[in-house]
Every structure is written in C-alpha cells, then in structure tokens.
Structure 1
Amino acid sequence: MEELEINTEFITLGQILKMTDAISSGGMAKWFLEEHVVYVNDEEEKRRGKKLRDGDIVNIPGVGKYKVNGIPNGQTDVH
C-alpha cells in the first residue's frame, strides 16, 4: 500500500484519481467512476467529490491501494 501525503484537512476522490495517474485530467473523474469500481475504506464509492481524510484507504483496482496521510481532524501546526 502506498501512502499519499496531503497538507490539508481533506482531498477529494477526483483529486486522488489524478494524483495516482488513474486519470490524466480532473474532467475524466466522473467518467472513470462510472466505468470502474473504486473502493474507499472497503466500500464502493462513485462520488468524485467524496472528501477523503487522514487514515482513509482508497483501492483503485488495476492502479493501486493508497492510504491518505494528512492533517488529522483539521488541526494545523500553529504555535
């Protein structure tokens, strides 16, 4: 399983599809999710706008399995 580092509270499923090179442009996300099965935390997901947060697992069959590593609970490093 690969890890995807983000520096925000969340990332959308469509953005992850682009980051992992499953699609070449953000506009392809809707088509990709209509034609392929993608799992988020072992449940099928079809919404390209689905917010993925720290600890979520994304499985894109034929592409790879990824764990989102981000800012837990929206916390920031403010001192």
Structure 2
Amino acid sequence: MTEVEIHTEYIQLDQFLKLAGTVPSGGIVKEMIAAGAILRNGEIETARRRKLVHGDVITIDGSECYRVVRT
C-alpha cells in the first residue's frame, strides 16, 4: 500500500488520484467511477469530488491501494 501525504484537512478524490500519479485528468476519474473501478474504504465510490480524510484507503481496479496520510 502506498501512502500519499496531504497537508490539508481533506482532499477531493479526483485531486488525490492526480496527486498520487494514477490518472492524468479528472475526466478519467469520472470514467473509472462510472465503471465501478474505485473503492473508498472497501465501498464502491460514486462521487469524484468525495472528500477524503486521513486514514481513507483508495483501491483502484482491485489492485492498487493508496492511503491518505495527513502531515
């Protein structure tokens, strides 16, 4: 699992995925959400602007895992 540091209270899902380097644009995030390819804490995510906070775990396509870490 890869930890991705944020310096604010929360970060939106689309911004987080760009920060983590997994997607080049928010449009791709929208497509991935529509396909059910993104999980937040084990649940299918339906909102690309969902606020993520320290400790949230994002799973992409069942294989890539990222944890939000606030510094």
Q: 1:36 to 1:21 in 2, by over 3 A?
A: farther
Equivalent residue letter for 2:29: A
C-alpha distance 63-22 of structure 1, shift in aligned 2 (>3 A): farther
Instruction: Indicate the residue corresponding to 2:53 in structure 1.
Output: 53
Report matched runs for 1:1-79 at 5 Å.
Answer: 1-61=1-61, 64-70=64-70
TM-superposed CA distance for 1:25, in Å, is: 1.3
Where has structure 1 moved over 4 Å in runs of 4 or more? none
Go from structure 1 to structure 2 and tell me whether the alpha carbon gap of 1:36 and 1:43 turns closer, same or farther (over 3 Å shift): closer
| Corresponding residue pairs, total | 71
**Counterpart-to-counterpart distance in 2, 1:9 and 1:32:** 25
Sequence identity (%)? 38
Aligned equivalents of 1:6 and 1:17: distance in 2?
12
Shift of 1:45: 0.5
5+ residue gaps, structure 2: none
Structure 1: segments with no counterpart, 5+ residues = 72-79
Q: Which has the larger radius of gyration?
A: 1
Query: So what's the TM-score if we normalise by structure 1?
Result: 0.75
CA-to-aligned-CA distance 1:32-58 (integer Å, 9 cap, x gap): 211342111111102101100011111
Partners in 1 of 2:26 and 2:17 — Cα distance?
A: 8
Question: Greater strand share, 1 or 2?
Answer: 2
